[in-house]
């Protein structure tokens, strides 16, 4: 179980970081979401993985599962959700104000695309 969870966290972090570095708003938002999923699973696991046991002391015989990480994860999920919502609004605002979806607000001049890009720019004007 631990192996599966750690592989899942690793894959989520890797894809999250990759998307975060794409420098386009939508992939970046997706990347941050994946990263926060990974973080949530990680926080959950930080209380050790115990299957089929209740987070209640005294009511049942051991083993118990640790309830605190579950509370932490809930908080982190709520905060992450709010932040993602705000980020989406800000991304739409940036698209409206700056006219493109690059995180720097300006289209980078790629060497191979420069000629085509300039052409497209001229056509747009």
Partner 1 sequence: MSHLPILPILLPFFAGIAIALGGRRHPARARLLGEIAVLAGFAVALMLVIRADQGGQQVYALGNWPAPFGIVLILDRLSALMVVLTSVLALGAVCYARGRSPQRLTSFHTLFQFQLMGLNGAFLTGDLFNLFVFFEVLLIASYGLLVIEGGAQRVRAGLHYVLVNLAGSSLFLIALGIVYGTAGTLNLADLIHKVPLLPADRQPLIAAAGLLLLVVFGLKAALAPLYLWLPATYAAAPAPVAALFAVMTKVGAYALLRVHAVLFAPGSLPYGGLVQYWLLAAALVSLILGSVGVLASPTLPRLVAYLVVVSLGTMMVSVAIGSPEAVAASLYYMVHSTLVTAALFLLADLVASQRGPRGDQLEPGERVHQPTVIGGLFLLLATSVAGLPPFSGFFGKLMIIQASAPSSLAALAWTLILASSLVVVVALSRAGSRLFWKTTDATRPAVPAAPILLLPVLALASASALLVLFGGAAQQFAAAAAEQLLDRSAYVQGVLGELAEERP
Using CB under 8 A as the criterion, which residues of the chain lie in contact with partner 1 when the complex forms? 20, 25, 28, 32, 35-36, 38-40, 42-43, 45-48, 68-69, 72, 75-76, 79, 82-83, 86-87, 90-91, 93-94, 97-98, 103-105
Is the CB of 51 or the CB of 111 nearer to partner 1?
Answer: 51
Q: How far is the CB of 112 from partner 1 (least distance, A)?
A: 26
CB 125 within 8 A of CB 119: no
Q: How far is the CB of 32 from partner 1 (least distance, A)?
A: 5
Whole-angstrom distance, CA of residue 46 vs CA of residue 50: 11
Is the CB of 13 or the CB of 117 nearer to partner 1?
Answer: 13
């Amino acid at each position: 179980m631990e192996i599966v969870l750690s592989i899942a966290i690793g894959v989520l972090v890797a894809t999250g970081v990759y998307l975060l570095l794409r420098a386009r708003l939508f992939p970046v938002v997706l990347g941050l979401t994946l990263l926060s999923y990974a973080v949530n699973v990680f926080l959950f696991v930080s209380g050790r993985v115990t299957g089929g046991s209740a987070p209640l002391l005294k009511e049942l015989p051991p083993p118990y599962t640790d309830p605190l990480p579950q509370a932490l994860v809930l908080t982190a999920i709520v905060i992450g959700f709010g932040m993602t919502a705000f980020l989406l609004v800000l991304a739409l605002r940036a698209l409206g104000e700056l006219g493109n979806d690059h995180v720097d607000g300006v289209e980078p001049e790629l060497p191979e695309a420069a000629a085509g890009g300039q052409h497209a720019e001229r056509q747009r004007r």
